[in-house]
Amino acid sequence: HDSPHDCEFRTLDTMCAFFKVRKTGPPVLLHCAAAVTHPNLKKKILERAREEIANPNRATFVYFAAWGSGLSMLSAIGDRSTTMDFTEFLRMLGDIELLYTHISVTEAARIFRRVCAVGSAEDGQFTFEHYREAMRLIAAVLKLPPPNESH
């Protein structure tokens, strides 16, 4: 390979493609953009995130499950204040700096739907046991050891 360009840029982070759908014939690609990263430049997973994945903390779960209670948000009223919805799950992933850098919103939604056994992430609610299962799935995606089994 005689190219001066670095061939290590092979980790595809995101891709967005726009097609024109025609009544007859195949779709036509109008625009495509891709973001790739070099494996050595990937941001390291914070120790705080590693610890939350290895030992899902009930206090972290309770904090994010009740997020918005001071603002009288619907997700923090009544029984919903003791369960974590998808928005609260995303907020937690963002807070420990996993969202966007290591876990996409799409991947988070897939994990949330799988754990809650719902068709749409917006329909689900996590209990703490669901949260532990989500951390196990996140560990697998990130190729980290699974959470400890002790409560």
- Summarised one tens digit per residue, pLDDT across range 140-151 is 999 998 887 654
Q: How confident is the model at residue 1 (pLDDT cuts 50, 70, 90)?
A: very low
User: Which long-range contacts link 93-100 to residues 24+ away (Cβ below 8 Å)?
Assistant: 95/64, 96/46, 96/48, 96/49, 96/52, 97/43, 97/46, 97/48, 97/49, 98/45, 98/49, 98/138, 98/142
Q: How confident is the model at residue 67 (pLDDT cuts 50, 70, 90)?
A: confident
Query: Global pTM?
Result: 0.67
